[in-house]
Each structure stands twice: as structure tokens, then as C-alpha cells.
């Protein structure tokens, strides 16, 4: 195969409504059986991964939108960046009317709380960034994203970016697809991702992955320069 690695987002890409169809599981198994290497690149926290279907198929997980690496086989965690200062966590968790959750690094809330999060970051003079993920907001150290996460995977595995296809559905996947040799968006992706993708699948969440893997196994994908 021209591309030996597949770096895929989770919900909205692999999963539809947090469920993995049988056809997706079979396609992933076929890809692994043919020597392909699977990497899950997600905004989810490590404590949420226990609920992720067929995690055993993935060699490495980039969790918390690039902040961590997780090995499904050994359960080993590697934090790739600084953790939030206590005051930032305290102030964000104290926002009235905002549901805030904290991972090892990432802090998440909903988009309607964006102004409040911006006010906290400004008050603390923090250089942490806000990353959009459909209806969610992710708060992370500046420079930490799915691209920095997949770069850590490439360093760990010895693969080159040109050997990996990246696929996603949301705004935070723009960094992922730009870091891979070929960037793909599923059909029901947000417009921002479609505008950056070099290939858009005919199928949406779930089905788009099956379609992509079939093409990878047939070696029927173009070799392109990275998205600009």
C-alpha cells in the first residue's frame, strides 16, 4: 500500500452517534490484517477511552486533542505538554452555567461558554488556546493540537507523514489532515474541514471510513502534497 498508516478521528468519523457499525469494525480489521497501522486521534480524555469500541485495533491513541499518547495494549500514558495551572482549572470550573470537565491536560466546555472562557484566559494573562470541536470547546496549551499529537506518533513509530492518511469531521481535525500525507474529510464534515481536505468521501460518519479503507487496500488513492 502507498499509505500504510491511517490516523482517524473518533466520533463523527469512525463512530456515528457514538456507535461503531459492524462494517466499520470489519474494515478496520481488514486494514490491520493487511499490515496497515491504525492510530486514533481524538479529543476525548483517557478516562473516556474505556468506552470506545474496538480500541484494541489501534496501535496508539492520541488523546485530549494532541496533549497525550495512550497505548491501548499496555495502558501507558504519556503527557506531551504542560498541565493547566490550578488557578485556571479553579476559575473555569467555577463558571456559572457552564459544564466544565477536566482531563489530564484538556479542559472542555460548550461553545456557548466561549466568552466566559476568553474572559478567564485574559484575566490570567494565559497563553492557552481555545479549539472548536463542533458544539464543544477545548482549552489547551498553545501549539498543542492533533498535528502535534500525530507528529509525536510519527516520531515514535518511525513513519513519515507521507505514509499516513488523516481523516476527520470537525474543526479540530484541520490540524490533523494538514499534518498527514493525504487529508480526508467525511461527507458530513463541517465546511471548514472540507475546505482544507484533499479528498472528501461519498459517505458520512462510519461509511466514509469504510470507503476510504477500501481505496487504501486497493492502493487507489492519489499521492498529493499536504493541504495548504
The single-letter DSSP state of residue 58 is: -
Third-level CATH fold of 86-140? Hypothetical Protein Ta0175; Chain: A, domain 2 (3.90.1070)
Q: What is the mean pLDDT of the chain?
A: 96
Which pTM does this prediction carry?
A: 0.95
Residue span(s) of the chain under CATH 3.90.1070 come to 86-140
Residues 142, 101 contacting (CB under 8 angstroms): no
CATH of 5-79+144-217 among 2.40.50.320, 3.30.590.20, 3.40.50.1000, 3.40.50.2300? 3.40.50.1000
User: How far is Cα 1 from Cα 219, in angstroms, rounded to an integer?
Assistant: 5
Residue 224 banded pLDDT, cuts 50, 70, 90: low
Q: Record the cell numbers describing residue 68, joined without a space.
A: 497525550
The total number of residues shown for the chain amounts to 228
Each residue of 174-213: pLDDT tens digit? 999 999 999 999 999 999 999 999 999 999 999 999 999 9
User: How far is Cα 9 from Cα 42, in angstroms, rounded to an integer?
Assistant: 5
Amino acid at each position: 500500500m502507498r499509505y500504510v498508516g491511517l490516523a482517524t478521528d473518533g466520533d463523527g468519523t469512525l463512530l456515528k452517534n457514538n456507535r461503531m457499525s459492524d462494517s466499520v469494525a470489519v474494515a478496520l480489521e481488514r486494514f490491520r490484517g493487511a499490515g496497515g497501522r491504525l492510530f486514533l486521534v481524538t479529543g476525548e480524555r483517557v478516562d473516556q477511552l474505556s468506552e470506545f469500541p474496538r480500541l484494541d485495533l489501534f496501535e496508539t491513541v492520541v488523546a485530549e486533542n494532541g496533549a497525550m499518547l495512550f497505548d491501548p495494549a499496555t495502558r501507558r500514558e504519556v503527557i506531551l505538554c504542560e498541565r493547566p495551572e490550578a488557578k485556571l482549572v479553579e476559575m473555569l470550573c467555577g463558571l456559572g452555567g457552564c459544564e466544565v470537565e477536566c482531563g489530564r491536560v484538556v479542559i472542555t466546555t460548550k461553545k456557548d461558554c466561549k466568552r466566559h472562557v476568553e474572559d478567564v484566559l485574559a484575566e490570567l494573562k494565559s497563553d492557552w488556546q481555545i479549539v472548536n470541536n463542533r458544539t464543544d470547546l477545548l482549552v489547551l496549551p498553545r501549539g498543542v493540537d492533533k498535528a502535534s499529537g500525530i507528529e509525536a506518533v510519527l516520531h515514535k513509530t518511525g513513519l513519515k507523514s507521507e505514509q499516513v492518511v488523516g481523516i476527520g469531521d470537525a474543526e479540530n481535525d484541520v490540524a490533523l489532515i494538514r499534518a498527514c500525507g493525504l487529508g480526508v474529510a467525511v461527507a458530513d464534515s463541517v465546511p471548514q474541514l472540507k475546505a482544507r481536505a484533499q479528498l472528501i468521501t461519498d459517505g458520512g460518519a462510519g461509511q466514509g471510513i469504510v470507503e476510504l479503507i477500501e481505496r487504501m487496500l486497493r492502493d487507489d488513492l492519489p499521492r498529493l502534497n499536504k493541504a495548504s
